[in-house]
Amino acid sequence: MISVCESQKSAANGSTTNGENMHMKKVLDVENNLDAQTKDLITLARSWGSQHLEPLIPSYWDKAEFPPNILSSFRDHCPSLLGYTLPKQYGGQGYGLMAASHISRALASIDASFTTTLLVQYGLCAESILLCGNEDQKRRLIPSLARLENMGCFCLTEPRSGSDASDLTTTATKVDGGYSITGSKRWIGNALTAEVFVVWAKNTSVEGHPVMGFVVQRSHQKNKGAIQTRKIEGKVSMRILQNADVDFYEAWCPDTNVMGGHVGFAQSVGRVLEASRISVAWIPVGICQGALEKTIQYITKRQAFGAVISSNQIIQEKLVRMTAHVCSMYLLAERMTQDFIAGKCSLPAISMVKAYTTKLGREVVALCREIVGGNGIVLDFGIASKWADIEATYTYEGTYEICSLVAGRALTGVSAIKSASAIKNSIKRRQQSKL
Ligand X SMILES: Cc1cc2nc3c(=O)[nH]c(=O)nc-3n(C[C@H](O)[C@H](O)[C@H](O)COP(=O)(O)OP(=O)(O)OC[C@H]3O[C@@H](n4cnc5c(N)ncnc54)[C@H](O)[C@@H]3O)c2cc1C
- Contacts with ligand X by CB under 6 A lie at 120, 154-157, 162-163, 187-189, 238, 241, 243, 392, 395-397, 399, 401-402, 405, 417
Q: For residue 357, with 0-12 CB atoms within 10 Å meaning exposed, 13-18 middle and 19 or more buried, which class applies?
A: buried
CA–centroid distance for 165 within its chain: 17
d(CA 410, CA 258): 33
20 or 397: CB nearest ligand X: 397
To ligand X, the closest distance from the beta carbon of 31 in angstroms equals 28
d(CA 347, CA 351): 6
336 or 406: CB nearest ligand X: 406
CB-based burial, 75-113: b 16+ in 10 Å, e otherwise:
eebbebbbbbbbbeebbbbebeeebbbbbbbbbbbbbbb
Phi, psi dihedral angles at 163 (to 5 degrees): -60, -40
Q: Which residues pair with 183 in a beta bridge?
A: 248
SS3 of residue 372 by DSSP: coil
To ligand X, the closest distance from the beta carbon of 266 in angstroms equals 16
Say what the alpha-carbon torsion angle 346, 349, 352, 354 is, to the nearest 10 degrees.
-60
Say what the alpha-carbon torsion angle 327, 332, 337, 341 is, to the nearest 10 degrees.
130
Residue 142: name the closest of 301, 259, 268 by CA.
259
53 or 238: CB nearest ligand X: 238
Question: Residue of minimal CB distance from ligand X?
Answer: 162
d(CA 57, CA 35): 31
Contact assessment for residue 202 and residue 210, using Cβ atoms and an 8 Å cutoff: yes
91 or 398: CB nearest ligand X: 398
312 or 395: CB nearest ligand X: 395
To ligand X, the closest distance from the beta carbon of 235 in angstroms equals 7
To ligand X, the closest distance from the beta carbon of 355 in angstroms equals 10
28 or 192: CB nearest ligand X: 192
To ligand X, the closest distance from the beta carbon of 191 in angstroms equals 8
240 or 319: CB nearest ligand X: 240
To ligand X, the closest distance from the beta carbon of 43 in angstroms equals 28
To ligand X, the closest distance from the beta carbon of 7 in angstroms equals 30
N-terminal to C-terminal alpha carbon distance within the chain: 70
